[in-house]
Structure 1
Amino acid sequence: MDTRTALLAAAAALIVASAVGAAAVPGAITDPRETNEPPGRIDIAGTTVAPGEVRGETADLRLGTDLRHRGSTVENVTVRHRAIGSESGLLVDETTVDVGDVDFEGERTVNGTVTVEREGGYRIETVVFADGQRRQERTTRVAGVAALTPDYADTQVGFTEGAVWPTVAVSVVEADNETATLSASVSVTNRGDEASDDVDLRLYLRQAESNVVAAEATETVGTVRPGRTDTVTATVEVPAGYNYYVDAALFDDDVLVDETRGVANLNPRETITANETVRDVAFSVEDFERGEGGVGGDGADRAPTDDGSTDGSTPGFGPLVALVALVAAALTARRRR
């Protein structure tokens, strides 16, 4: 056997021996750089819940999940969120966020969203999966969702609430026996951090005992600086001699955002408050008709008398009532005979 053949035979024997040793001792050919790296681990470090888009019936809850990773890469990571009604125990919404392979060191936030109804409370269950295997879970409870303000009604301008300064102040500008011109001043405050956009102020003056709307007005509330209070004034004309509720409302793009009430006592014998009436008094519908001839509709002078009727007619009586009175008097006289 020549030298070349002997060397080839020795090399082949060495390769066979190495292969047999590697099979007999697992990990014998493992890269020494990987022997000290721990297996990949991922868990939940913390969770947060914040309101997202708020609508009339539903609201979005923005969920933040802080994932903490250590060790080697964790493959195929997903985060599942479930919103469950606190009282019913029913599943309301579910969403899954695909994170993918996680190889970062430390913590990272994964965001998700669930949609719930604006009522009651909810239990938010968050579960982390790695390659289809459940790794860790966390439960967060949410209450008071109904208190969230819908986006369409999100304005910081509202009626001023003060113990002394009136929210609605009414003064008489001009008055006669038939009508009274009133000036209604309404106080509004910007409770936000930025200047407000324009909103509409709408006023209704309702006769206290009948709820008939005697007058109405609309004014624009302009820009109000943060933390400032402004006064908006509207002038209306109503029949004299009656008491009125002054209903005020703020509308933002035809959405009711705040409301309040004041009173205007024009009847010297009766007074009302914003929440109750002292007692009923006489009321004439004709005084509140809106016609071309003035407040009464026909141009006639109809000044209210003490009992609430109008001049030129017998208060509370008509031909039929008079006829009944005559018949009753005749029967009484006949019995006396």
Structure 2
Amino acid sequence: MDTRTTLLAVAAAVVLAGAVGIVAVPDAIDDPRAETDRPGQIDLADVVVSPGEVRGETATLDLLVDLRHRGSTVENVTVRHRAIDADSGLLVDETTVDVGDVDREGETTVNGSLDVEREGGYRLETVVYADGQRRSERTTRVAGVSALTPTYADSPVEFADGNVWPTVAVSVAGTSEETATLSVSVSVTNRGDDASEEIDLRLLLRQADSNVIADEATETVGSVRPGRTATVTTTLEAPDGYNYYVDAALFDDDVLIDETQGVANLDPQERITANETVRDVSFEIEDFSEEAGDDALDGGADDGAPDRGDASTDDATPGFGFVVAVAGLLAAALLARRES
């Protein structure tokens, strides 16, 4: 057998083996068009909730939905979101996203949002519809919405919180006959990624027993580099001999960002601690007014009590001295009569 005959015989054997395999396995070769004829399926692959814009009383919750599609085109797809109060079960907000026809194999991301109040918790229900028929659904629960910081109050600068280094440090810069001058140093930290903008530091020196504001000051906190701590120092004056709370607050365009408290103990017989309730003691308002009242200068107003320090008055009534004198005269007369 020559070489040509051998090659023809081998080729015939290969063709015969292929034909046998096709007969034995009829599904080995599929028509590509059969795949598109399969009914389309669509369902929820994943739902992710993230905070959006946070306002004073309400917040927006952004929902990212991954739709999984298989088969032929699914027409008229919509995604409905509902926010239901976790305690009352009442509907808080509802929104529907029109997706349209979905023909791409794999996953498609659809964005939606709900507006809720910044309190309590919520149950978020997501449902996928295809041409008005429910195809898939999922429930997500969220809580602690009140902990979200409003956008207008979102600032990287806040008061430093150290275990040893004081956030508010108070020292006596000077004293006069009745007034003490206090030097107050406040530490602030930039916990953001970029340098901060200028904000205001406001201080109130509050008498501990009466809550009367003895003095106040406002300083500008300049730009602070990321991760750095800056110290702002100012002076306050107040009457000596009292204890004070030093209330400090950070404001950005009149929006309260952060607050803290320190103390100044100028009363040698009583001490106070920040954020601690103290007992009520007497307090003289004149110590914090510019001028004393007429009653204070005159020694106080008459409270209606009798004046026991002055015994010689025109309308004084007889006391025990008159009775003793009469008894003495009677005793002398009896003694004279016995002698006679």
Q: TM-score, normalised by structure 2?
A: 0.77
Q: Which residue identity lines up with residue 318 of structure 1 in the other structure?
A: G
Per-residue deviation at 1:68? 0.8
Q: Greater shift after overlay, 176-185 or 214-223?
A: 176-185
Partner of 1:58 in structure 2?
58
For residues 117-162 of structure 1, the C-alpha deviation after alignment (integer angstroms, 9 at most, x for no partner) is 1111111111111111111111111111111111111112111112
**Contact in 2 for aligned 1:83/1:114 (Cα 8 Å):** yes
Q: Determine whether 1:222 maps to 2:217.
A: no
- SS of 2:236's equivalent? strand
Pairing partner for 1:320 from 296, 302, 305: 302
**Contact in 1 for aligned 2:243/2:266 (Cα 8 Å):** yes
For residues 205-242 of structure 1, the C-alpha deviation after alignment (integer angstroms, 9 at most, x for no partner) is 11122111110000111111222111111112222222
Q: Which residue identity lines up with residue 79 of structure 1 in the other structure?
A: V
Partner of 1:272 in structure 2?
272
Question: For this pair of structures, how many residues does the alignment match?
Answer: 285
**Contact in 2 for aligned 1:271/1:277 (Cα 8 Å):** no
Per-residue deviation at 1:270? 2.7
**Contact in 2 for aligned 1:271/1:278 (Cα 8 Å):** no
**Aligned mates of 1:116, 1:332 — CA distance in 2:** 81
Partner of 1:34 in structure 2?
33
For residues 84-128 of structure 1, the C-alpha deviation after alignment (integer angstroms, 9 at most, x for no partner) is 111111111110000111111111100000101111111111111
Go from structure 1 to structure 2 and tell me whether the alpha carbon gap of 1:261 and 1:78 turns closer, same or farther (over 3 Å shift): same
**Aligned mates of 1:77, 1:35 — CA distance in 2:** 23
Per-residue deviation at 1:279? 5.0
Go from structure 1 to structure 2 and tell me whether the alpha carbon gap of 1:84 and 1:270 turns closer, same or farther (over 3 Å shift): same
- SS of 2:250's equivalent? strand
**Aligned mates of 2:72, 2:256 — CA distance in 1:** 56
Go from structure 1 to structure 2 and tell me whether the alpha carbon gap of 1:90 and 1:276 turns closer, same or farther (over 3 Å shift): closer
Per-residue deviation at 1:335? 5.6
Q: Which residue identity lines up with residue 42 of structure 2 in the other structure?
A: I
- SS of 2:305's equivalent? helix
**Aligned mates of 1:335, 1:280 — CA distance in 2:** 44
Go from structure 1 to structure 2 and tell me whether the alpha carbon gap of 1:202 and 1:33 turns closer, same or farther (over 3 Å shift): same
**Aligned mates of 1:241, 1:169 — CA distance in 2:** 19
Q: Determine whether 1:334 maps to 2:319.
A: yes
Aligned pairs for 1:94-133 (under 5 A) are 94-133=94-133
Partner of 1:251 in structure 2?
251
**Aligned mates of 2:263, 2:100 — CA distance in 1:** 65
- SS of 1:320's equivalent? coil
**Aligned mates of 1:134, 1:40 — CA distance in 2:** 14
For residues 15-67 of structure 1, the C-alpha deviation after alignment (integer angstroms, 9 at most, x for no partner) is xxxxxxxxxxxxxxxxx763342221111111100000001111000001101
The root-mean-square deviation of aligned C-alpha atoms, in Å, is 2.5
Partner of 1:179 in structure 2?
179
- SS of 1:35's equivalent? helix
Per-residue deviation at 1:251? 1.1
Q: Which residue identity lines up with residue 136 of structure 1 in the other structure?
A: S
Per-residue deviation at 1:189? 1.3
In terms of Rg, which structure is larger? 2
For residues 275-310 of structure 1, the C-alpha deviation after alignment (integer angstroms, 9 at most, x for no partner) is 346655553322322xxxxxx348xxxxxxxxxxx9
Partner of 1:203 in structure 2?
203
Q: Which runs of 5+ in 1 are unaligned?
A: 1-31, 290-295, 299-309
**Aligned mates of 1:333, 1:223 — CA distance in 2:** 83
**Aligned mates of 1:227, 1:51 — CA distance in 2:** 25
Q: Determine whether 1:134 maps to 2:144.
A: no
Q: Which residue identity lines up with residue 50 of structure 1 in the other structure?
A: S
**Aligned mates of 2:245, 2:239 — CA distance in 1:** 13
Go from structure 1 to structure 2 and tell me whether the alpha carbon gap of 1:180 and 1:130 turns closer, same or farther (over 3 Å shift): same
Q: TM-score, normalised by structure 1?
A: 0.78
